[in-house]
Amino acid sequence: MMRSAAVALVVRQLSTLTRPPEQPMRIAYLDCFSGISGDMFLGALIDAGVPARVFEEAVVGLNIGARLAISKVDRSGITATKVDVLVDGEVSAGNALHDHRHTHDHGHTHDHHDAHDYTHGHSQKNGHEDKHVHGRGLVEIRKIIQSSRIPAQAKMTAIAIFQALGAAESKIHSVPAESIHFHEVGAVDALVDIVSAAVGADHLAVDEWVCSPLNVGGGAIHCAHGTFPVPAPATLELLKDAPVFSSGPQKELVTPTGAAIVKTLVKRFSPFPPMKVRATGYGAGTSDFPAHANVVRLTLGDSQVDFTRAQQDTVTVLEANIDDLNPQIFGYVIDHLLADGALDAFGMPVQMKKGRPGMLLTVLAHPEDADRLTQILFTETTTLGVRRRDEQRQILDRRFEVVHTRWGDVRIKIASLDGTIRNCAPEFEDCKQLAAKHRIPLKRVLQEALHVYLETNSSEAIAARTSKA
C-alpha cells in the first residue's frame, strides 16, 4: 500500500515537470550521388550561401600566392558553382591536368574526374617541372595553417583533415605519418581547398553534418605503385565505416581530399534527414559526364524535435536459438554485445527440438551495427545461424541531467513526450558506484537521487528560480 502511494506521488510530480521546446538544430546534409572532392565541396558551400569573400580572405591569409576563380557552370542541366585555384594568375597544375597523383608517385599520373585535390611535387607539365608545386610534410603544413589569419576552429578542422590524409597514407605505405612527404597534398591548390573547406564549414556553424552513401565511381587508376581499382587505397582507408556504392561513370568520383573532409566533418550517414529546408547548393566537378550530373549537393535546414508524437526509428533485431553453449559464457556474450554497441541484448528460455532446453538470444541494434554484432554471435557462441529483421519503434525524447546528492553526482535519465516528462530514473551505475564507495544501501542512493531531482524540478522550485532571475 505504501509502495503504491509512493508511485502515485512520483507520477503526480512528473506530470508537473515540463520544459520549453528545444531550439531547432541546424543540419548540413551532403548528398554525394556523384562523389565528392575538395573543389566540389567549396562550390557547394558558396552555392548554398557562404559569401565568396569568406574564402577569398582565407586564401589571402594563407600567404601562399594563390587566389580563387569562381564561376557558374552547367552539369547535365543543373547550374552549379565551380571553384578553381589560381597561382600567379594561372589555374594550378592539379586543376589544369584534372588528375590525382598519390604520395610517393614520382611522375606518373592518372585521369580523375575533377581531381585538383593532389598535385605531385615533381610533376611534369609539357616536359617542364611545374614551379608552383611544393612538397611539404605535416609539420610544415601545420605551421602554415597555424600562422594563417583564419578562425581558430577552422585551423583545427583544416589540420584534422590533413592528419586524416596523413594517417591513411601512413597505413597504406607503412611509414609514420609525420615522415610522409605530401608532394600532392601539400601543393598550393590542395592547401587552398582544405583550408577553405574548413573556413566555410566554420562559417555555417551547423550543429551536425550528415552525409548520404557515397558514390565512389569505378574503373581503375594508374600510379607509380601500379594499377588499382577505384576507389584508390587512401580513399578506401578514409571511407572505412562509411556506406559506399558504385554507379555511373567508370571514373574516380571520391578523391582522398573529399573523403578526408567527410571523415572529419560528418558524424553520421543517413538517407535525407527530416528537416525544414533553408538553403541548397550545388558544387561542380571538373568533368561534365553525359546524363550524369557531376555535382555534390549541400542542403541546409533546421531539425525541430517533434513533440506531437514519439520519435520513430528503425532497429535491427538479431536472434539465435542456442542449446549447447556453456551457461558461464552466455553472460559474457551479452556483456560483449552491449559493450560493442548493441542497444539491448537478452536471453529467454525456450524448448527446442528433441525436447532440449535452450536459450533464445536476442540483440537489438542500429542497422549499421548489425553486421559487426552478427560476427560477435558467430565468434563467441555455438550458433550456426542468426536471424535478422528490421523493425520500427517509437521512442521518447531522452536526455540526462545531473543531480548532487550528499554522496556525489548522479545522472538522471529523463524521457519526454509532447514537452512533458513521462519517465525519469537515476542512472543505475552511478548509484551503484556511490553505494559501494560509501558502503551504504544501493536503494538509499537511488531514492535520494530521484528525490533531489523531483524537488529541484518541482513547479514551486522553478517558479522560485524564475522570480529570483
SS3 35: strand
Q: What Å distances lie between residue 58 and 6, 88, 99, CA to CA?
A: 62, 17, 25
Contact (CB, 8 A) for 318 and 381: no
For residue 358, what is its C-alpha cell? 535452450
Q: What is the pLDDT of residue 187?
A: 65
CATH topology assigned to domain 397-468: Ubiquitin-like (UB roll) (3.10.20)
pLDDT in tens, 5-44: 444 455 455 544 544 445 678 999 999 999 999 999 999 9
SS3 283: strand
Q: What is the pLDDT of residue 421?
A: 83
Average pLDDT of the chain to the nearest whole number: 82
Q: What is the pLDDT of residue 468?
A: 57
Question: Count of alpha carbons within 13 Å of 125, Cβ hemisphere only?
Answer: 17
Task: Tell me which residue has cell 543505475.
Answer: 428
Cross-strand partners of 35: 33
Is residue 122's pLDDT more than 70?
no
Mean pLDDT check: name the lowest of 6-10, 277-281, 299-303, 392-396.
6-10
Contact (CB, 8 A) for 234 and 256: yes
What mean pLDDT do residues 244-253 have? 93
- Model confidence at 130, pLDDT cuts 50, 70, 90, reads very low
CB contact set of 357 (below 8 Å; sequence gap of 6+): 323, 349, 350, 351
The span from the CA of 296 to the CA of 78, in Å, is 11
pLDDT in tens, 87-118: 766 666 544 333 333 333 333 333 344 443 44
Phi first, then psi: what are they for 98, rounded to 5°? 50, 40
Q: What is the pLDDT of residue 91?
A: 66
Task: Tell me which residue has cell 578542422.
Answer: 157
Q: What Å distances lie between residue 219 and 32, 107, 115, CA to CA?
A: 18, 21, 15
Q: What number of other Cβ atoms are within 10 A of residue 173's Cβ?
A: 17
Sequence spans of domains, the chain: 29-303, 311-395, 397-468
Q: What is the pLDDT of residue 219?
A: 92
**Domain 311-395 part of CATH 3.30.70.1380:** yes
DSSP-assigned states of every residue in 391-434 = EEEEE-EEEEEEEEETTEEEEEEEEEETTEEEEEEE-HHHHHHH
Alpha helices in 226-345 (DSSP H): 233-238, 256-265, 327-339
For residue 42, what is its C-alpha cell? 567549396
Contact (CB, 8 A) for 110 and 94: no
Buried residues in 233-263 as b, exposed as e (16+ CB within 10 A): bbbbbbbeebebeeebbebbbbbbbbbbbbb
Cross-strand partners of 345: 363
Counting beta carbons within 10 angstroms of the beta carbon of residue 111, is it exposed (0 to 12), middle (13 to 18) or buried (19 or more)? middle
Is residue 184's pLDDT more than 50?
no
Q: What is the pLDDT of residue 381?
A: 96
pLDDT in tens, 328-370: 999 999 999 999 999 999 999 999 988 889 999 999 999 999 9
Q: What is the pLDDT of residue 186?
A: 45
CA torsion angle 439 444 449 455 (round to 10): -140
For residue 442, what is its C-alpha cell? 544501493
Is residue 225's pLDDT more than 70?
no
The span from the CA of 20 to the CA of 109, in Å, is 58
What mean pLDDT do residues 216-221 have? 90
Is residue 296's pLDDT more than 90?
yes
Task: Tell me which residue has cell 567527410.
Answer: 262
Q: What is the pLDDT of residue 460?
A: 56
Is residue 129's pLDDT more than 50?
no
The span from the CA of 256 to the CA of 38, in Å, is 9
Q: What number of other Cβ atoms are within 10 A of residue 321's Cβ?
A: 16
Alpha helices in 49-104 (DSSP H): 52-62, 93-97
CA torsion angle 157 161 163 169 (round to 10): 180
Contact (CB, 8 A) for 101 and 183: yes
Q: Report if pTM > 0.75.
A: no
Q: What is the pLDDT of residue 3?
A: 46
Is residue 380's pLDDT more than 50?
yes
Of 202 and 174, the one with more pLDDT: 202
Q: What Å distances lie between residue 271 and 30, 212, 274, 300, CA to CA?
A: 10, 6, 9, 14
Q: What is the pLDDT of residue 26?
A: 92
Contact (CB, 8 A) for 391 and 378: no
Q: What is the pLDDT of residue 96?
A: 35
Mean pLDDT check: name the lowest of 16-20, 71-75, 362-366, 380-384.
16-20
What mean pLDDT do residues 380-385 have? 95
Mean pLDDT check: name the lowest of 16-20, 248-252, 321-325.
16-20
Of 439 and 419, the one with more pLDDT: 439
Contact (CB, 8 A) for 228 and 172: no
Is residue 463's pLDDT more than 90?
no
Give the angle subtended at the CA of 347 by the CAs of 345 and 411, to the nearest 5°.
40
First vs last Cα of the chain: how many Å apart?
A: 41
Give me the percent of the chain exceeding a pLDDT of 70.
Answer: 77
Same fold, 311-395 and 397-468: no
